[in-house]
Amino acid sequence: MFAPQPIGFVRTPYQNTTSIPRGLGAKHEAEGIIEILPEFDLGLTDIEGFSHLYVLWVFDRAGEFQLIGAPPTDSRPHGVFATRSPRRPNPIGLTVVELLRRDGALLYVRGVDMLDRTPVLDIKPYLSSVPSETLRRGWLAEVEARNK
């Protein structure tokens, strides 16, 4: 194993979790800035060409992990690995953001759903290769159908 260390921190409009949109149909359109630490900014070379990025980050303010829990979208409990719950054994978040522009070590992005000053572990270009017609959405599809 390795000891994870942040490559930077993300600035977002969210000071507390209640202000982050959640639940069915929640839209994540808030803008934020990912500030990459100076020792890693060379790694941003050529990133401007990508419209969207995967951001891997740390749920640094989550509670103890829960293997079963009810997400905000459903009153029924589900296994943590079938949800995007912050309370996971390894508290790692994954968000796809739109890259608006880069200014040196700053990435201006849209679509943040993390708290202000959340540590960022990694960034990768987003390249979707799964055709939408082959995607199955598990229990979420059932909730969406019940709420139509």
Q: Name the burial class of residue 100, with classes exposed (0-12), middle (13-18) and buried (19+) by CB atoms within 10 angstroms of its CB.
A: middle
CB of residue 57 to ligand SAM, shortest distance in Å: 7
Name the segment binding ligand SAM (CB under 6 A); options: 34-42, 101-109, 111-119, 120-128: 111-119
DSSP string for residues in 95-138: EEEEEEEEETTEEEEE---S-TTEEEEEEEE----S-GGG---H
124 touching ligand SAM, by CB under 6 A? no
Measured from the CB atom, is 35 or 60 closer to ligand SAM? 60
Measured from the CB atom, is 48 or 144 closer to ligand SAM? 144
The span from the CA of 67 to the CA of 60, in Å, is 18
Site residue total, ligand SAM (CB under 6 A): 16
Query: Applying CB under 6 A, which of residues 86, 97, 107, 120 lies at the interface with ligand SAM?
Result: 86
Cβ(56)–Cβ(123) below 8 Å: yes
Cβ(113)–Cβ(85) below 8 Å: no
Site string for ligand SAM, 91-110 (x = CB under 6 A): --xxx---------------
60 touching ligand SAM, by CB under 6 A? yes
